C-alpha cells in the first residue's frame, strides 16, 4: 500500500479491498498514511542521495530504509540507512547513517559477526580461522577510522 501517489481516501479503499477493517482503525491508518507521505517527501531523490562509502556493498546512493524518530505534527523525521561490506570472511563491516533536516550523520563503522549457533563446537583450526578473520576485520576498522581522520584534517 503506497501512500505517496494517492489520496487518503484511495489509500483507505485499497486497504479495505485487502480485508483491513478500516472503520475501527481510521486514526491509526491516517497516521500510517501521513508517515508514509512524510517519509517520501523527506527522502532525497536517488541523484541527490549522499554518496556511500567506497566499501559499501549496496548500490551507490541506495535509499533510506526507515524512519527512527518522527514528529508528524511538526513534519520532521529522522531517516536511516546502513552501509555494509559483506565480502569479508568472519563478518561484515556496517555503518549507520541518519538524515534529519538535510543534515547527514554517519556512525562509526562496526563489525557484525557471522553467527555461530549456540552450543556449536569449533575445532582448533576453525577457532584459529575465526580469530584470524576477526583480527582482519579489526584491521579494516582501524583503516577506516584512520581514513576518516585523514579526511577531517584536510
Query: What pTM does this model have?
Result: 0.71
Q: Give 54-102 pLDDT, tens digit per residue.
A: 899 999 889 999 998 888 888 899 999 999 998 888 888 999 999 998 8
Residue 113: φ, ψ to 5°: -75, 140
Q: Do both 29 and 97 map to the same domain?
A: no
Q: Do both 4 and 73 map to the same domain?
A: no
Q: Do both 68 and 4 map to the same domain?
A: no
What pLDDT, on a 0 to 100 scale, did the predictor assign at position 152?
45
The residue among 3, 9, 15 whose CA lies nearest residue 43 is: 3
In which domain, by residue range, is 23 found?
Answer: 1-42
Q: How many domains does the chain have?
A: 2
Q: Do both 25 and 58 map to the same domain?
A: no
Burial class (CB in 10 A: 0-12, 13-18, 19+), 12: buried
Q: Do both 63 and 89 map to the same domain?
A: yes
Q: Do both 29 and 89 map to the same domain?
A: no
Amino acid at each position: 500500500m503506497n501512500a505517496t501517489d494517492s489520496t487518503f481516501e484511495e489509500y483507505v479503499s485499497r486497504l479495505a479491498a485487502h480485508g483491513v477493517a478500516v472503520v475501527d482503525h481510521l486514526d491509526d491508518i491516517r497516521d500510517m498514511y501521513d508517515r508514509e507521505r512524510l517519509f517520501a517527501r523527506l527522502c532525497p531523490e536517488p541523484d541527490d542521495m549522499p554518496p556511500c562509502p567506497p566499501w559499501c556493498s549496496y548500490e551507490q546512493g541506495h535509499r533510506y530504509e526507515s524512519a527512527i524518530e518522527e514528529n508528524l505534527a511538526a513534519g520532521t523525521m529522522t531517516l536511516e540507512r546502513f552501509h555494509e561490506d559483506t565480502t569479508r570472511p568472519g563478518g561484515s563491516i556496517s555503518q549507520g547513517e541518519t538524515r534529519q533536516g538535510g543534515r547527514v550523520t554517519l556512525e562509526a563503522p562496526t563489525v557484525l559477526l557471522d553467527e555461530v549457533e549456540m552450543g556449536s563446537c569449533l575445532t582448533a583450526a576453525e577457532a584459529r580461522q575465526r580469530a584470524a578473520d576477526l583480527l582482519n576485520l579489526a584491521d579494516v576498522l582501524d583503516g577506516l577510522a584512520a581514513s576518516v581522520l585523514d579526511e577531517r584534517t584536510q
